[in-house]
Structure 1
Amino acid sequence: MVKWGGFYLTEHTKAIDGERTIERSKPIQKFQMDVNEIAETLNQATLKNKSVAI
């Protein structure tokens, strides 16, 4: 980490922002659901007008 006079250097903050963007764009692995859980989740999402991630 590089500081000068208490401030982070621009190059360093740009690198950190780039890493955060890459990290946020990675898909999150979800656990596998059985057929009944899938049906119940889709049912609840439909009733409550919510979206689901597959």
Structure 2
Amino acid sequence: MRFLKQGSSQITSRSEILAYVVNHTSFHRGFIADILRRMSVSVPATDLATYIRDRK
């Protein structure tokens, strides 16, 4: 994909966009979990591998 940013053209691959989306989602999940923990709310594991293992 080609983007214009501040007058210059930039190219980003689909794999780079997918990696960004996955990582950005993880950031928000962790941020929300941190806020809830500070409010003394019990938060389940935010790690996908732990979540899948614990569901079995």
The TM-score, its normalising length taken from structure 2, stands at 0.40
Q: Which has the higher helix share?
A: 2
Structure having greater relative contact order (Cα 8 Å, sep ≥ 6): 2
The structure with the largest alpha-carbon Rg is 1
